Structure 1
C-alpha cells in the first residue's frame, strides 16, 4: 500500500495578512478558498499552483516559534520548481525578499537557492527543465 499522491502541505503563520500577501502576491499562488473559524480564532487559506491544491495556510493565536533552521525536526523546507532561476532571484530581490547565493546540486547538476517566507520557513527554488 502507498498513498496515491501528496494532497497538501500545512503552514502555520504568525501574521496572516503578511503571509497571505507573500504566498499570493509574491509567489503567485491562487486562492481556492478562505475561511475564518471563529471557535479557533483561525484563518484557513487553501492555495493552489497551476490549479493543483498545494498549501493550507493557517493562523492561530500565538503559535510557538520554529526551534531552529533548517535542521529542526519536522519539515526541513518546501521546494518550488522554476524554469528560470535567475529571473526568479531578480524578481524576489526587487520585492525585498532576500535569497541565498545560487548553488548547484552535486548529484543532478541543477541550480537552486533558498529564501524565507515571512515566518522564516525555508523555501527552495529548484531550477527544472523549461
Structure 2
C-alpha cells in the first residue's frame, strides 16, 4: 500500500457561503451587534476542515471539542454535490460523501470553494481504490 499524501485541504468560506448574511453581519458590526455574530461565524468556519488524501476523505470539526469523520476512498459509494443558483455563481456548494458502511451521508459540509473540483478529486481516488 502506498504512503498517504494530502491532495486537498479547505475550510468553508464565510462570504461565498452566505453573501447576504455576511453583508448584513458586517453592517451590524458598525453598531456593535454584529461583532459577536461575526466572531462565532468565523470560528465555526475556521474550525471546520475538509482534507482529501490519496486514501481517504476526512472532515474535522471543532477546536475545543473535536469531531472527526473519515471515509476511505475504497468504501465511498456516493458523492453528492448540491449548489443553488447563487452558489454556482460564487463557485461554492455542499459536498456529501457516503460509504457502504452507513445508510446516510457521513461527511456533509457546505460553503466549500470549487465543489466540482472537490468531487472530481474524490472520484479520481475512488476509481483508483477499486
Q: Output the TM-score relative to the length of structure 2.
A: 0.27
Q: Greater CA radius of gyration, 1 or 2?
A: 2
Higher helix share: 2
